[in-house]
Structure 1
C-alpha cells in the first residue's frame, strides 16, 4: 500500500511498541496520530520523546467518542490509510488464588481494553477508510492488530490476558472478511517476548529464564523488529486475515 500523502492512527503510542511503530511510520512521511492515556501522553511530552510527524492525543481506546475525535484529527492531516493497535494491559491473576476466585472486574477490564478497545478503533477507523479513494488492487486501508503468543499458550495467571488476545486473533479473519468489500485489509501480529519498557524492571535471572524458552535467536525481540513486520504487512497487499507469530519459535510453558 502506498503511504505517501496518508495518515495513520497508532494506539498505545506514548511508549513501547506503539511509540516505535509511530516513529517508524513518521520517518516515512506518514502523518501519525498516536493515541494513549492522558498520563502516558503527558509523560512522553515532558520527556521530549515525541518524534517529528507524530501528534499524541489523550484518549481511552474504549471510549468511542474519544476514538472518533482522534481519527478525525488524523483525517484533517491526510487520508487515513493505516491503523496499528498496540494499546493493551497485562495484569496477572490466577482463576483461583489466595483471595478466592479471579476478580470479575479485573477480567472485564482486560477484555475491555485489549479486545473491545481493539475492535472499537478498528471498526471506527475502517468506516472512515471506506470513503478513501482506492489504490492499487482497490486497497483503501490496512489495520494491524496486536495479539500475543498468550493467545495460543497462555501461562498460569494469564487467563484474562489470554482470553483477550485470543479474541483479537479470532477476530482477524472475520474482520478481514467483513471489510473486504470496502478494500480494507486486516492482519494481526502475535509477539513473543519483546524488549519494551515493561521488561526493563525484570531481574537478569528472570530475563535468562524467559529467553531460555526461545528457540532461535535466543533473545528478546527488539521493538524495531515489530515495526518492520508492520511495514511488511503494509507493503504486502496479499497479506490479509492472517495472524503472524513473531516469537522466534517460542512456545510458552505453563509457567
Structure 2
C-alpha cells in the first residue's frame, strides 16, 4: 500500500478516458473535500485515526490505500481525503459501517455507547459542507517510493478543464513539461488523474516534494530545466495553454496515510 500512493501521487483512470493515452495501470479513488474548521482539525484527526484503524480490521473494507492532506494555500477544502481501490467494483463493495459494526459487536454496552458517540462526532465533522467525486489515478508520471505521507512534504495540486476531445493533445504537452520537472531533480514524484463521476475537473496533476526547500528550488529552476529538457518548448507551451481550459493550483501538506496496519500522521502533525 505504501508503494501505491507513494506512487500516489498520489495519489487515478478507467475506460471513460479513451481520448487520453492509456497508462499501463490505473486505480480508482474516491476523493472527499472536507470543510472541517481549522480549530477542529486536531480533534478530527484523533477520531479519524480511531475510526480508520477500527474499520480496516475487517475484510468488508476493500480499499488498498487511504491518504489525507491539508490545505495550505489557495482552494477551499480544509482537508482532502483519498480512498484508493483497484476498481470501481471494489469501491462500490466497500462497507465502512459494516466493518464498524463488526468492530463493535463484542463491546460492552458502556463501551459501545462511548464509541458510538465518538463515531457520531467524527462523522458529523466529515459530512458538514463536504463534497466528493470519483477519479481515476494513472500510474504514469515519475517517482515511486521517494515520497512518504509521513514526511513533512508539500503537494502541489493543479487543476485543468480541457475538452475531452483535446485530452490526448493536452496530456502529451503536460507530460513533456512534467519530464522537465523530473529531470530538475527537486520533486519526489508526480501523478495525474481524470474525472470519472461526481463534480470535478477533467484533469488533475499532482507533484510531490519532500520539503518546502525542494519546492522552492524547483520554482527557481523549472524554467531553465524546461528549456534544457523539453524539445521545442515554445510550441509545447503554446499547445499546453491553448487546450488547458480553466486552470488553478492549490498547495497542500500531507496529513498521513494508512500504512503498516494503522493510520499514521505526518511529521507536520506529530512534531
Q: TM-score, normalised by structure 2?
A: 0.24
Work out which of the two has the higher radius of gyration on C-alpha atoms and give 1 or 2: 2
Q: Which structure shows the higher strand fraction?
A: 2
- Which fold has the larger relative contact order, with Cα–Cα distance below 8 Å and residues 6 or more apart in sequence? 2
